[in-house]
């Protein structure tokens, strides 16, 4: 393996994985905050105002972290992936630039009013500020998924003699079916994170017998939003995404399932470790014929295995792809179980007396982060060895003018800065959660706005 290429890949993987810790929470919380603010407007119950205010503070810190870790993403196309940028800028930069022009300006204009402007604005105007920030963050997510969608499934382009890609229709890149399917999957994934985090903090308060009113609102809002998003995540969005992928990237699907040999009535592997050298799965637990059924709707259909494809087109890291996919799908199933149980207890009026369930909700919040990260790993590791699927290989896209040592240097720099950021953010979030939804002393809300 070429050292420089490997380091450029790790550089992108590390910085984007760290970055996505924050947007998945802010994109997930934004609609929930709008819900809380709507309830506050409707019911005039001040507890909903306290609840919305508390999550707005959490949102503000995470949003800033998303901004400062996100800026390097836009520049990294050029710094670390210059050949790719040069060849595809005429297409992929459309959603990238549109994100800046259509969503960053929107968010930056209304975020300050949203996070700090509650006293200055009327209740309605502040609701609108919250709504516009929600809109901006979801638009932002759309443009990024559209950029990734084009790399996964290139559409609406022509290639010039110099090898570069040029966009041929304004809507083509934005209306890419792959991007639309992936977008709803990504966004409901973010809502799962937001919902679980909200329920976890609520459970923490209810279990600790503090801030009970708000705590119950958090748990209720979290589990109700959670069950909707968790079910939607599997059906229809995950199901649709899986079928579309099996159709357009069959070799990726084979890699995800570690299906080495083409099989009629292919089984689905629930657990097991793929052995790429021997082309087998160790310690397998399988459901017979399930894979054929999930992809084609019949238990007898032939599913293409890796043996149908030339080795150089196989995903480059099949075990990582396989584990990412299985972690994502496995956790997704567990999430449905947790939220279904919690909603059932809520409906029967027993949730707040079921301390075991509250313990589960409190401790479950890290797992949506893991599932979302694993989902993106599935998509991006699954796309390998291509940058633009079927058209441009990863090994042809990196900045060959940047040496391995320089890449390592900036990778270590980002690791250091991200570690520092983590410390500050954990400290501030822990402090906010410790204080709880009761108003913080006023002086501490003076300073800048984001």
Partner 1 sequence: MATVWFILVALMLVGYVVLDGFDLGAGALHLLAARTDSERRLVLGAIGPVWDGNEVWLLAAGGTLFYAFPGLYASSFSGFYLALNIVLWLLVFRAIGIEFRMHLADSLWCSFFDGAFSAASTLLIVFFGAALGNVLRGVALDSSHYFFAPLWTNFQPGAAPGILDWYTVLCAVAALFAVSVHGALYLILKSSGDLNERLRGLIRWLWPPLVVVSAAALVATLFIRPELLRNYRAAPVAWVIPVCVAAGLWGMAFFTRARNERNAFLASCLYIVATLGGAAVALYPDLLPSSTGAATSITIDNAAAGASSLSIGLIWWAIGMAVAIGYFIVVYTMFKGKVRPGDGYH
Q: Is 111 in the site for partner 1 (CB under 8 A)?
A: yes
Residues that bind partner 1 (rule: CB under 8 A) add up to a total of 75
Minimum distance, C-beta of residue 165 to partner 1, in the bound complex (Å): 9
Minimum distance, C-beta of residue 51 to partner 1, in the bound complex (Å): 20
Q: Is 166 in the site for partner 1 (CB under 8 A)?
A: yes
Contact range with partner 1 by CB under 8 A, out of 30-38, 165-173, 198-206, 266-274: 165-173
Minimum distance, C-beta of residue 30 to partner 1, in the bound complex (Å): 16
Minimum distance, C-beta of residue 430 to partner 1, in the bound complex (Å): 12
> Distance between CA 13 and CA 180 in Å, rounded?
23
* Burial class, 280, CB count within 10 angstroms (exposed 0-12 / middle 13-18 / buried 19+): middle
Nearer to partner 1, 105 or 235 (CB): 105
Hey, which residues between 68 and 97 contact partner 1 (CB under 8 A)? 68-69, 71-72, 74-75, 77-80, 82-83, 85-91, 93-94, 96-97
Nearer to partner 1, 93 or 343 (CB): 93
Tell which one of 44, 350, 355, 431 touches partner 1 (CB under 8 A).
Answer: 431
Q: Is 99 in the site for partner 1 (CB under 8 A)?
A: yes
Complete DSSP assignment for 165-224: EEE--HHHHHT-HHHHHHHHHHHHHHHHHHHHHHHHHHHHHHHTTSSHHHHHHHHHHHHH
Secondary structure (3-state) at 261: coil
Helix (H) or strand (E) holding 393: strand 392-393
Q: Is 25 in the site for partner 1 (CB under 8 A)?
A: no
Residues of 377-396 as b/e, b for ≥16 C-beta within 10 angstroms? Answer: bbbbbbbbebbbbeebebbb
Q: Is 443 in the site for partner 1 (CB under 8 A)?
A: yes
Please give the structure tokens belonging to residue 434. 């410790």
Tell which one of 109, 271, 415, 423 touches partner 1 (CB under 8 A).
Answer: 109
Nearer to partner 1, 129 or 192 (CB): 129
> Distance between CA 394 and CA 399 in Å, rounded?
11
> Distance between CA 101 and CA 14 in Å, rounded?
26
């Amino acid at each position: 393996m070429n050292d420089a290429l490997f380091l450029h890949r790790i550089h992108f993987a590390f910085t984007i994985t760290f970055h996505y810790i924050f947007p998945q929470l802010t994109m997930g919380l934004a609609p929930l905050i709008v819900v809380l603010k709507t309830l506050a407007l409707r019911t005039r119950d001040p507890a909903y105002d306290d609840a919305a205010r508390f999550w707005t503070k959490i949102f503000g810190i995470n949003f800033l972290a998303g901004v400062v870790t996100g800026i390097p993403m836009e520049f990294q196309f050029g710094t670390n992936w210059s050949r790719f940028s040069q060849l595809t800028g005429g297409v992929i930069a459309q959603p990238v630039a549109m994100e800046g022009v259509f969503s960053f300006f929107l968010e930056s204009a209304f975020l300050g009013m949203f996070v700090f402007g509650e006293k200055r604005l009327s209740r309605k105007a502040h609701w609108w500020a919250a709504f516009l920030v929600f809109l901006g963050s979801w638009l932002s997510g759309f443009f990024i998924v559209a950029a990734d969608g084009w790399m996964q499934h290139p559409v609406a382009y022509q290639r010039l003699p110099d090898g570069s890609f040029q966009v041929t229709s304004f809507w083509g890149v934005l209306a890419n079916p792959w991007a639309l399917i992936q977008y709803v999957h990504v966004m409901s994934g973010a809502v799962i994170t937001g919902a679980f985090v909200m329920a976890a903090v609520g459970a923490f308060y209810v279990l600790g017998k503090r801030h009970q009113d708000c705590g119950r609102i958090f748990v209720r809002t979290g589990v109700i939003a959670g069950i909707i998003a968790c079910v939607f995540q599997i059906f229809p969005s995950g199901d649709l995404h899986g079928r579309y992928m099996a159709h357009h990237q069959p070799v990726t699907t084979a890699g995800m399932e570690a299906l080495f040999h083409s099989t009629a009535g292919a089984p689905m592997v629930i657990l097991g470790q793929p052995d790429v050298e021997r082309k087998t799965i160790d310690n397998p637990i399988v459901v017979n014929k399930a894979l054929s059924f999930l992809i084609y709707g019949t238990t007898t259909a032939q599913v293409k295995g890796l043996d149908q494809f030339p080795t150089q087109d196989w995903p480059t890291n099949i075990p990582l792809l396989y584990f990412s996919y299985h972690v994502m799908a496995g956790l997704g199933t567990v999430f449905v179980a947790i939220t279904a149980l919690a909603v059932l207890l809520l409906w029967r009026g027993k949730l707040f007396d079921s301390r075991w369930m509250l313990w589960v909700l409190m401790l479950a919040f890290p797992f949506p982060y893991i599932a979302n990260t694993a989902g993106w790993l599935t998509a991006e590791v699954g796309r390998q060895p291509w940058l633009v699927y079927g058209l441009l290989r990863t090994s042809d896209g990196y900045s060959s003018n940047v040496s391995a040592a320089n890449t390592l240097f900036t990778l270590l720099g980002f690791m250091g800065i991200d570690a520092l950021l983590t410390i500050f953010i954990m400290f501030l979030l822990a402090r906010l959660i410790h204080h709880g939804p009761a108003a913080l002393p006023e002086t501490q809300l003076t300073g800048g706005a984001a």
